[in-house]
Amino acid sequence: MKYWQPEYETMQKDEMRQLQLKRLKKTAANVYENVPFYNEKFKSLGISPEDINSIDDISHLPLTRKPDLRANYPFGLFATSKKDIVRIHASSGTSGKPTVVGYTENDIRTWADMMARDLKMAGVGSDDIFQNSLNYGLFTGGLGFHNGAERLGAMTVPAGTGNTARQLEMMQDFGVTVINCTPSYALYLAETAEEMDILDKLSLRIGTFGGEPWSSNTRKDIENVFGMKAYDSYGLSELIGPGVAFECEEQDGLHIWDDHFLVEVLDSNGEQVAEGEKGELVLTSLTKEAFPVIRYHTGDITRLLESECACGRTSTRISRIMGRADDMLIVRGINVFPSQIEDVLVGINEITDQFQILLKRNEHKMDEITVRVELSDNAFTGELKDLAAVKKHVENELKSVLNIRTNVDLVEKGTIPRTTGKAKRVIDHREAL
């Protein structure tokens, strides 16, 4: 069987909309009754859950944003009593208090099934040995995938993060067939495996990578090094954790599950975009009990794709995440996404896939952008003129995509810190000046 829950994965649109309406009404009633924050918001908009008569009424419902979670720290948005909560997770973010999310026993089951559905969609099965190299702890990544892989029946290796040589040794000794981690850690694993000269001793056939943005060129690099297929996996704590959207074997956009989430992709005026257009992903949970969210603004930029997919699933589909609304750098008035820079860099052979973007303001109060890249071993000739040529080449390639001039700082391989989790690519010194 190709699907995990075929009745939902291939449900016809009309039937799905009816199911969504039923679940939306139930979710709205739950938050209205049990979460003071939503009760007040509904009332201030002059609406009640009974006013929801069609899915399109979603546009009348209140919005939720990250600061609302912080303002209700830690448990203010929980819709069930504490005795029904069996687990919490938290995400740290860059400023202030972390945001805390909760799960009932049912939520944990729903999540495991969603993850099993995702993994199966990417071709993982009960014969696989699944190494889960995401952090186990308050981060949703580790335990989220762990429960899903077990639910699917795969032999699950709870490797967690750290000790990269040991991780590779386990892959070799256990005959691991599927690796799951962040894309930046996958690059680090690839580099270490090359150094240890053990690539031909690994049995990987599938990698599932997410938790941070990565480009299609990075995908090609990871696939080539390990000789496997690499799939994009998307999720966020506020909506449940990993598993919210995932690629199928077609590797052409991510399926996002309409039976669990009501998907909107909104332009800057808050209007739903047309197919093919770019906007912010806004999600409403339809099945969560402990921590339901209404119209959560993810801050993630994506494109809405045509829902038909060759795999036969009928769900909504989105493109890979193109960046975060708040990740966008404005340099001398020009919008720059770190993902654009990554895309250029990973296509250049003379440098590694590691990079950092440094921003500062010069003495004329002008923004300066420096992209720090590492020279790869094979490009090192010892000749200064060759180094200058690589630098120039990278600068020209960046200029042609970004439309602004960047300084390229060429450093020795290994200089840029490797990470076992999410990478920190941007260092912005501009505020400090």
Which residues are at the interface with ligand DLL (CB under 6 A)?
Answer: 91, 134, 140-141, 210-213, 232-237, 241-242, 298, 300, 321, 324
Q: How many CB atoms lie within 10 A of CB 413?
A: 15
Of 346 and 390, which CB lies nearer to ligand DLL in the complex structure? 346
- The closest alpha carbon to 135, from 200, 212, 42, 39, belongs to 212
DSSP, res 352: E
To the nearest whole angstrom, how small is the minimum distance from the Cβ of residue 123 to ligand DLL?
17
Angle subtended by helix axes 216-226 and 338-345, to nearest 10:
40
**What is the rounded distance in angstroms from the CA atom of residue 240 to the CA atom of residue 260?**
10
To the nearest whole angstrom, how small is the minimum distance from the Cβ of residue 213 to ligand DLL?
4
Of 114 and 228, which CB lies nearer to ligand DLL in the complex structure? 114
Of 408 and 423, which CB lies nearer to ligand DLL in the complex structure? 423
To the nearest whole angstrom, how small is the minimum distance from the Cβ of residue 420 to ligand DLL?
13
Task: Give phi and psi for 132, each to the nearest 5.
Answer: -100, 95
C-alpha distance across the termini of the chain, in Å: 59
Adjacent-strand bridge partners of 330: 335
Q: How many CB atoms lie within 10 A of CB 47?
A: 17
Of 129 and 236, which CB lies nearer to ligand DLL in the complex structure? 236
To the nearest whole angstrom, how small is the minimum distance from the Cβ of residue 101 to ligand DLL?
9
- CA 73-425-171 angle, to 5 degrees, is 90
To the nearest whole angstrom, how small is the minimum distance from the Cβ of residue 322 to ligand DLL?
9
Of 61 and 230, which CB lies nearer to ligand DLL in the complex structure? 230
What count of Cα atoms within 13 Å lies in the side-chain half-sphere of residue 150? 12
Of 342 and 367, which CB lies nearer to ligand DLL in the complex structure? 342
Helix (H, G, I), strand (E, B) or coil at 162: coil
Of 49 and 141, which CB lies nearer to ligand DLL in the complex structure? 141
To the nearest whole angstrom, how small is the minimum distance from the Cβ of residue 409 to ligand DLL?
26
Residue nearest to ligand DLL (CB): 210
To the nearest whole angstrom, how small is the minimum distance from the Cβ of residue 148 to ligand DLL?
11
DSSP secondary structure string for all residues of 43-112: HHTT--GGG--SGGGGGGSPPB-HHHHHHTTTTTT--S-GGGEEEEEEE--SSSS-EEEEEEHHHHHHHH
